[in-house]
Amino acid sequence: MTRLQTLLTGGTVVDPEAGDTAVLNVGIADGTIAYLGTDTPEADTVVDVSGKYVTPGFIDLHSHAQNVTGHRLQVLDGVTTSLELESGSAPLGPMYAWAAHEGRPAHFGYSAGWLFTRMHVLGGVDLVDPLDSPDFRKPLDYFSAYAGMEEHKQEATPEQVEQILALLRQQLEEGAIGVGVLLGYASAASREEILGVGRLCAEFGRPMFCHGRFSSNIEGSTCVETVEELAAVARETGCAVHLCHFNSTGHSTIEEAAGVIAAAVAEGLTFTTEAYPFGTSSTVIGAEFLAPDRLAGQGITAQSLVFLPTGERIADDARLAEIRATEPGGLALIDYYVESEEGSRNELVKALTLPGAAFASDAMPVTYRGDAAGAAEAAARLAAHEWPVGDDFICHPRSTSCFARALAWVHRDLGALDLVETVRRCTLVPARILEAGVPAMARKGRMAIGADADLAVFDLAALTPSTDYFHITPTVGFDHVYVAGEAVVASGELVTSSFPGTAVYGG
């Protein structure tokens, strides 16, 4: 056996593939799991993790927090692979190159960005190389900058659809993990265009990751219709379809929509989904479904929204319209569920425990909330990767604590899922969603000899996720996190010099 670099001793290993737990020692060599057993082979470093759980590192299918700060917050939540698959990226190659140039604590990867490609084709937006433009160094920067633009939200002509599909093909050829389709942000897109995307995904054997077209409680535009549309795309094209954040998309029709998903799976369609364990959602205030006249159909009002740059709970429709006109790219919170109310909380739990669903964070980038005079200095600190993050930044706690909350709240406190199943939804389930078209995933999400040494070590009793929407509070309780065998969290502290993340490509 190759000499071990690291040996973790005395921990309870959770094996999501075998479906069991056992006290075992785990040896790491050359970035892989090289030993699993009860012996204590020699190693350069021995770490006693008695009383802790040792699991595969968590695979996040849906993170918009694609910069160094975002990744740092996520590895403190046990994440070892952070992927931007819902919105994707365009341009693709330069975004991969930028992430590699900067370095990342976790593995990273992108789908092809359908909405950004539409911005380019329908709206003339120049998709720049992030190496040349500090304003566009993560995919969500385009999303925020052009949230108020209307051209890319319209139905495309047949000629424009042809251009969009050609550019998406190019991105898939460059290694995009699939195609991210933010259909809820351009809901006038034709069915023919979405079928074209589905055929493209089927050709390359990679999924379509979709923010559904509908999410209201009005008949004809509910999550049920969203699921039916996506199931039809899977049926007619043969592509794998993944519905993002079922908890927020399905909030008005959870049981009905879940039934349609189950029927699609029973039919043999490749239809998967995900959820994050929070009742409050977040997106740009300029999203078309947050227009004042669209709120009632979602069972919410203007007062269900908080505008993060100012911290204000929006008083009324007039104030909402004003903010949407002046700062459409600013981030907002949306209270779809009230966790303190039993009925609302139970609806959320139904979404979180849907059979076969993954946990995925929908992590948001940190947002500056200080005065305008300090904005440039704050941006410089962020660009310099200063740690810890200053008090003048905030982010949704799903960015820091999605997986800790799945373990500590959904499993430990509510008992809604057992431990192995909770871990499985953070590891093996997302790996299997991707592995047919992403070769690297066959080595991730597993506790097995030869699997990647992406590992999380945590104290379940001490695990403390954040639920603070107005301060950045990293998760407490992950003692050690390894990415490709290198510690990115050690004894509960971030290793700020550690950037072992590598690019994950479709292929």
Given a contact cutoff of 8 angstroms between Cβ atoms, the answer to whether 333 and 467 are in contact is no
Quote the pLDDT of residue 144. 85
pTM of the model: 0.97
| Homologous superfamily of domain range 4-57+442-494 | Urease, subunit C, domain 1 (2.30.40.10)
Above 90 in pLDDT, residue 496? yes
For β-strands 20-29 and 32-37, DSSP reports them as antiparallel
Ranges of each domain in the chain: 4-57+442-494, 59-441
Given a contact cutoff of 8 angstroms between Cβ atoms, the answer to whether 62 and 83 are in contact is yes
Q: How far is CA 128 from CA 67, 170, 380, in A?
A: 17, 16, 20
**136-146 per-residue burial string, b: 16 or more CB within 10 A, e: under 16:** bbbbbbbbbbb
Q: Return the residue matching tokens 């809901």.
A: 187
Q: Which of 112-121, 247-256, 476-485, 490-499 has the lowest mean pLDDT?
A: 247-256
HEC profile for 420-482?
HHHHHHHCHHHHHHHCCCCHHHHHCCCCCCCCECCEEEECCCCCECCCCCCCCCCCECEEEEE
Given a contact cutoff of 8 angstroms between Cβ atoms, the answer to whether 403 and 361 are in contact is yes
- Mean pLDDT over all residues of the chain? 96
Write down the H helix ranges in 134-219: 140-145, 158-173, 191-204
pLDDT-based confidence at residue 2 (cuts at 50, 70, 90)? confident
Above 90 in pLDDT, residue 372? no
Given a contact cutoff of 8 angstroms between Cβ atoms, the answer to whether 282 and 143 are in contact is no
Given a contact cutoff of 8 angstroms between Cβ atoms, the answer to whether 91 and 66 are in contact is no
Quote the pLDDT of residue 48. 98
pLDDT-based confidence at residue 309 (cuts at 50, 70, 90)? confident
Neighbouring residues of 298: CB distance < 8 A, sequence distance ≥ 6: 215, 216, 217, 251, 252, 289, 336
Question: CA-to-CA distance for 363 and 85, rounded, in angstroms?
Answer: 12
Token pair of 26 as six digits: 């785990």
Per-residue pLDDT of 439-458, as tens digits, reads: 999 999 999 999 999 999 99
pLDDT-based confidence at residue 217 (cuts at 50, 70, 90)? confident
Helices 68-75 and 398-405 pack at an angle, to 10 degrees, of 20
Above 90 in pLDDT, residue 1? no
Measure the CA angle with vertex 420, ends 419 and 423; round to 5°.
85
Per-residue pLDDT of 319-337, as tens digits, reads: 999 999 999 999 899 999 9
pLDDT-based confidence at residue 479 (cuts at 50, 70, 90)? very high
DSSP letters, 363-402, are B---EE-S-GGGHHHHHHHHHTT-SSPPTTEE--THHHHH
CATH number for the region 59-441 comes to 3.20.20.140
Q: Return the residue matching tokens 């990226």.
A: 89
